[in-house]
Homo-oligomer: A and B are copies of this chain.
């Protein structure tokens, strides 16, 4: 049986309603995954996270590899137990953080040596090691180890990087040995549509359980990103889940769903939440502002999250003003709830084949 079923397609776009089955449960797509970087979705307990409507989360292999290390998590019974999350977990391969956070010391066609951004320790990662780590973490969906280039980049350098990413993807598929886990390939290629086509066609030959679009939301802007996503999603097997990595704003997500994307992750709801930025249907609220000092209204009147049911904008502003942890906690919970409600409305819109209204309401 396939791990992905399409339940409904939208008539006016490439959007699809799907069911993704993993070893720790089935989730409806399009789905948003909050980011649990180092084994915790910042500021939330797993119980609170569940109450936001979140069903699947992402964790970062790079961060977990550095601290506490894969041996420790394995010995403690796997990542689900370590972070007390019983639902599905997806891990990235570590590639993105290796290239963005650490100091590279050596890179060739085999793999990458880098210095930890925490203590400078030299660490080596390649396709086999990154796959082994993710196998041992015991998560539900794992990602191929890929090379992430900076943006912008010259075409010959990008082409070389894509060849490496394709080579590594095949080695990941070869090395993958945990039958409870789905393995996704990652299409790279910057905003170069020819190279995206090349990378996608090569990866599709390998028959992964799902396909991600990587290397976007790195400064190219909404328009170029959506153009690339639309092009790339159209090249992926229709019967496999499509995952846009690290994206994005409500407007990004709606546009990408229309292009046929099924899965998203992003730090925005939690990172912005910690910084007093609340998402609402009428645009963002910046809760440190003086205008909220005596405002008895919740962030959103019709939001059923714990924050909105109990706290006024005035209280939230006060908590941020005083440095109380409760401010970041509550606004993170609201923002994740906001994102999950957005996804729920997106799934509703697919059933009704009507995105127009939704896109108008979340154009930020």
A68 at the interface (CB under 8 A from B): yes
Instruction: Pick the contact of A329: B45, B81, B317, B322 (CB < 8 A).
Output: B45
Kindly report which residue of chain B lies nearest to residue A86, judged by CB atoms. B310
A294 at the interface (CB under 8 A from B): yes
A38 at the interface (CB under 8 A from B): yes
Q: Is the CB of A325 within 8 A of B326?
A: no
Question: Given the interface contacts A67-B322, A293-B72, does A84 sit within 8 Å of B315 by beta carbon?
Answer: yes
Q: Which residues from B are CB-within-8-Å of A124?
A: none
A82 at the interface (CB under 8 A from B): yes
Which chain A residues numbered 71 to 123 have a C-beta less than 8 Å away from chain B?
A: 72, 75-77, 81-84
Q: List 28 A-B contacts (CB under 8 A).
A: A38-B318, A38-B324, A39-B322, A39-B324, A40-B319, A40-B324, A40-B325, A42-B324, A42-B325, A42-B326, A43-B329, A45-B306, A46-B310, A47-B306, A67-B318, A68-B314, A68-B321, A72-B314, A75-B294, A75-B296, A76-B314, A76-B315, A82-B315, A83-B315, A84-B311, A84-B315, A325-B328, A329-B329
Which chain A residues numbered 322 to 348 have a C-beta less than 8 Å away from chain B?
A: 322, 324-326, 328-330
A54 at the interface (CB under 8 A from B): no
Most buried by B among A311, A317, A330: A311
How far is A74 from B314 in the complex, measured between Cα atoms in Å? 12
A312 at the interface (CB under 8 A from B): yes
Instruction: Pick the contact of A310: B42, B84, B296, B321 (CB < 8 A).
Output: B84
How far is A25 from B68 in the complex, measured between Cα atoms in Å? 45
Kindly report which residue of chain B lies nearest to residue A324, judged by CB atoms. B40
Q: Supply 16 further A-B pairs (C-beta < 8 A) apart from A84-B311, A325-B325.
A: A39-B324, A40-B324, A40-B326, A45-B306, A45-B326, A45-B329, A67-B318, A67-B321, A67-B322, A76-B294, A76-B296, A76-B314, A82-B318, A83-B315, A84-B310, A329-B329
A80 to chain B, nearest CB (A): 11
How far is A68 from B230 in the complex, measured between Cα atoms in Å? 49
Q: Which residues from B are CB-within-8-Å of A67?
A: 318, 321-322
